[in-house]
Amino acid sequence: MAIPSFLQPRMLVAATMALTLSACFGTPEAMKNNRGKRPDASASANTPKRPQVTGTPSFTSAEAQQCAFDLKQAGVRFTPLPNQDHGGGCSSIDSVKLLDIGTPVTNLGAMTCPLARNFAAWAQYAVRPAARKYFGQEVVKIETYGTYSCRNIYGGRSGRLSQHAYSNAVDVSGFVLADGRRVMLDGGWQGDKPSQEFLRALHKSACRRFGTVLSPDYNAAHYNHFHLDMSGNGYCR
């Protein structure tokens, strides 16, 4: 059957994106030899020691493929991960492992693609310029407490699951400058003027990029980090 002429440009764009994504994804070693890390101590006793591949291929939806395409276009190096069911309601769906966003980052595990995309953009367009503005030098490392963790909010025994349980959150603890100085949330949030201005500028920028942003002003559990996740609709504290 002949393809209507008005559909032909759209089909060409879709085919081009599919070819680009297939070149990006390939068959990374992480997907060939999948071994999940041991859940943390707060996880349910019934949580399997290794995540189980769900059987549903990752990055099949148009939205997920667009996100991966956006990361590639931004020059971000990453590995797409298979969908995983970690047990206890915890999962990693359409997630990636960030390899290079232009600035080294510690402790990054699985991140949902939208979280990874916004985190990489925040590092490039907020963290680096703010360091130049307030300290006159570059950020050489972003330090975090990690991403995926099968646990409830605040690590409690009861309550709803944290966004960390879905690989949809990252906790940022501080930044290392070119001269070796570490600007940490613990101390820096109420520290000297440059540190306060730098961290509050990053908080303000994060509130425009993430669904939920929690700072040391939120509660005692966040005294030493920014919690950034893609849930919510601009909840900023």
User: What pLDDT is attached to residue 156?
Assistant: 75
User: What pLDDT is attached to residue 42?
Assistant: 35
pLDDT at 172 over 50: yes
Confidence of residue 16 (pLDDT cuts 50, 70, 90): very low
User: What pLDDT is attached to residue 52?
Assistant: 60
Confidence of residue 56 (pLDDT cuts 50, 70, 90): confident
Confidence of residue 53 (pLDDT cuts 50, 70, 90): low
pLDDT tens readout for residues 184-217:
999 999 999 999 999 999 999 999 999 999 999 9
User: What pLDDT is attached to residue 29?
Assistant: 31
Contacts of 35 (CB under 8 A, 6+ apart): 50
Confidence of residue 155 (pLDDT cuts 50, 70, 90): confident
pLDDT at 38 over 70: no
Q: Taking a C-beta distance cutoff of 8 angstroms, is the pair 233, 209 a contact? A: no
Of 166, 150, 177, nearest in space to 114 by CA: 166
Of 146, 198, 153, 191, nearest in space to 172 by CA: 146
Task: Give exposure, 131-169, as e/b (b: 16+ Cβ within 10 Å).
Answer: beebbeeebeebbbbbbbbbbbeeeeeeeeebbbbbbbb
pLDDT tens readout for residues 78-135:
999 999 999 999 999 999 999 999 999 999 999 999 999 999 999 999 999 999 999 9
pLDDT at 5 over 60: no
Tell if the pTM clears 0.85, that is, is over it. Answer: no
